[in-house]
Amino acid sequence: MNLVVASFAEVRGLEIVPVVDAETRRIWRQLLHHEHPRGAGPFFGPQLRYLIRCEAGWLGAIGFAAAARRLAVRDNWIGWDDETRGHHLHRVVGLARFLIRPGVRCPDLATHVLGRVLRGLPAEFETRYGYRPWLVESFVDTLSHSGVSLKAGNWIRLGITAGRGRQDRAHDSAETPKLVFVYPLARDWRSHLALPAPPLLADAPLAAGAGLDDAHWAEQEFGGAPLGDRRLERRLVTSAARQAEDPTQAFTRVAKEDWAAVKGYYRLIDQPEESAVTSEHILAPHRERTIQRMRAQRTVLCVQDGTDLNFTSHPMTEGLGVLGRNQTGAASQGLHVHSTLAVSDSGLPLGLLNTRFEAPSPKASKGRGDPAERKSRYWQEALADCRTVAGELSRTRLVSVMDREADIFSLYTAQRDHPAVDVLVRAKNDRNLLAWDEATGQHTPAGKLFEVLREQPAGGHLELSVARASVRPKLSGRAAHPGRKARTAKMALCWRKVTFGSKLKEHEGQEPVTLWAVHAREQSPPAGATRLEWFLLTTVAIENAIEAEEALRWYCLRWRIEEWHRVLKTGCKVDELGHQSAARLSRAISIRMVIAWRIMLMTLLGRESPELPPELLFTDVELQVLRRYAMKRKGKTIHTLQDAVTWTAILGGYQNRKHDPPPGADLTWYGRMKLAAMCEVVELYGLED
Query: Tell me: the pLDDT tens digits for 336-390?
Result: 999 999 999 888 999 999 999 999 887 644 444 444 445 678 899 999 999 999 9
pLDDT at position 245: 80
Give the residue, 682 or 684, on which the prediction is more confident.
682
Cβ(180)–Cβ(137) below 8 Å:
yes
Residue 464: the pLDDT is 82
pLDDT digits (tens, 9 = 90+) for 590-622: 999 999 999 888 888 777 666 667 776 677 788
Q: What is the CATH architecture of 610-684?
A: Orthogonal Bundle (1.10)
Strands 460-466 and 487-500 come out as antiparallel
Mean pLDDT of 665-681: 79
CB neighbourhood size of 442 (10 A) = 10
Over residues 11-68, the pLDDT tens digits come to 888 999 999 999 999 999 999 999 998 898 889 899 999 999 998 899 999 999 999 9
* CATH topology match: 3-199 vs 300-363+372-467+487-562: no
Cα–Cα distance measured from residue 132 to residue 90, given in angstroms and rounded to the nearest whole number: 9
Q: How confident is the model at residue 506 (pLDDT cuts 50, 70, 90)?
A: confident
The amino acid that residue 396 corresponds to is T
pLDDT grade, residue 638 (50/70/90)? confident
Rounded CA-CA distance 67/85 in Å is: 11
Instruction: Specify the pLDDT at position 377.
Output: 85
Percentage of the chain surpassing pLDDT 90? Answer: 44
If you count them, how many residues does the chain have? 689
- CA nearest to 62, candidates 25, 20, 96, 34: 96
90 — pLDDT class (breaks 50, 70, 90): very high
Instruction: Give ∠ CA 209-213-218 in degrees, rounded to 5.
Output: 95
Model confidence band, residue 244 (pLDDT cutoffs 50, 70, 90): confident
What architecture is domain 3-199?
3-Layer(aba) Sandwich (3.40)
Q: Quote the mean pLDDT of the chain.
A: 85
pLDDT of residue 557: 93
Q: Is the pLDDT of residue 472 over 70?
A: no
When pLDDT is averaged across residues 470-485 and rounded to a whole number, the result is 62
> Would you state the pLDDT for residue 480?
64
Other beta carbons within 10 angstroms of residue 39's beta carbon come to 12
88: three-class secondary structure by DSSP: helix
* CA dihedral sign, ordered 635, 641, 645, 651: positive
Helix (H) / strand (E) element for 595: namely helix 582-608
pLDDT at 206: 72
State yes or no: pLDDT of 548 exceeds 90.
yes
Amino acid letter for position 370:
D
pLDDT score for 570: 82
Q: Give backbone dihedrals phi and psi of 323, rounded to 5 degrees, phi first.
A: -80, -30
Which of the 8 DSSP states describes residue 268?
A: H
Confidence of residue 165 (pLDDT cuts 50, 70, 90): low
What dihedral angle (degrees, nearest 10) is formed by the CA atoms of 582, 400, 222, 314?
Answer: 20
Pairing label, strands 422-426, 331-344: unpaired
Q: How far apart are CA 157 and CA 18, in angstroms?
A: 28
Q: What is the pLDDT of residue 475?
A: 57
Question: What tens digit of pLDDT does each residue of 266-275 get?
Answer: 999 999 988 9
Whether the per-residue pLDDT at 173 is higher than 60: the answer is: no
β-bridge partners, 95: 64
Which position has the higher pLDDT, 175 or 417?
Answer: 417
pLDDT for the residue numbered 634: 82
Q: Which CATH superfamily is domain 300-363+372-467+487-562 in?
A: Transposase Inhibitor Protein From Tn5; Chain A, domain 1 (3.90.350.10)
In this model, does residue 477 exceed pLDDT 60?
no
- What was the pLDDT predicted at 373? 45
Q: Which of 524, 522, 597, 516 is closest to 550 using CA atoms?
A: 516
Segment 72-79 mean pLDDT? 83
What percentage of the chain has pLDDT greater than the value 70? 87
What are the tens digits of pLDDT across the range 96-148? 999 999 888 887 788 888 888 998 999 999 999 999 999 999 988 766 666 67
The secondary structure of 52-63 as a DSSP string is: EEETTEEEEEEE
pLDDT at 473: 64
Burial of 519 per CB tally in 10 Å (0-12, 13-18, 19+) = buried
Q: How many CB atoms lie within 10 A of CB 95?
A: 23
Look at residue 186 in the predicted model and tell me its pLDDT.
Answer: 84
- Rounded Cα gap, residues 268 and 277, in angstroms: 8
Q: What are the extents of the domains in the chain?
A: 3-199, 300-363+372-467+487-562, 610-684
Give 297-321 pLDDT, tens digit per residue. Answer: 889 999 999 999 999 888 889 999 9
- Residue 494 pLDDT > 90: yes
Per residue in 174-188, pLDDT tens?
456 788 889 888 877
Phi and psi at residue 67, in whole multiples of 5°?
-75, 165
Instruction: Say if residue 604 is exposed, middle or buried (CB neighbours under 10 Å; 0-12, 13-18, 19+).
Output: buried
pLDDT at 370: 45
Residue 481 has pLDDT above 80, yes or no: no
Q: 566-577: per-residue pLDDT in tens? A: 889 887 889 888
Over residues 508-547, the pLDDT tens digits come to 888 999 999 999 999 988 888 888 999 999 999 999 999 9
Q: Are the C-beta atoms of 506 and 371 separated by less than 8 Å?
A: yes
